[in-house]
Structure 1
Amino acid sequence: MEVKNLYFAYNGNIVLKNINLEINLGESVAILGENGAGKTTL
């Protein structure tokens, strides 16, 4: 999976900005962060 320059705003608040991510077949990734950091949105 590959994501380039992802941007997402919710109710006028920028949640994700300029996110780039590449996950290759067989790799595992953990998304860590504070509440409201955009983990679920990603």
Structure 2
Amino acid sequence: CGEDIAGKSDDYFLGKLNYRVASQHEKQRARQRKHPDFQV
């Protein structure tokens, strides 16, 4: 029972993490479109 809750929160955490990484990646791509010579 406790493990099941931990598993669900892990999924939730990973989902949040993936979402944040994806949105941050989008910002970087948008910045690169504005400044093509700018490399991260």
Q: Normalization by structure 1: what TM-score?
A: 0.21
TM-score (norm 2): 0.21
Larger strand share, 1 or 2? 1
Rg: which structure is higher?
A: 2
Point out which structure has higher relative CO (alpha carbons under 8 A, 6+ apart).
Answer: 1
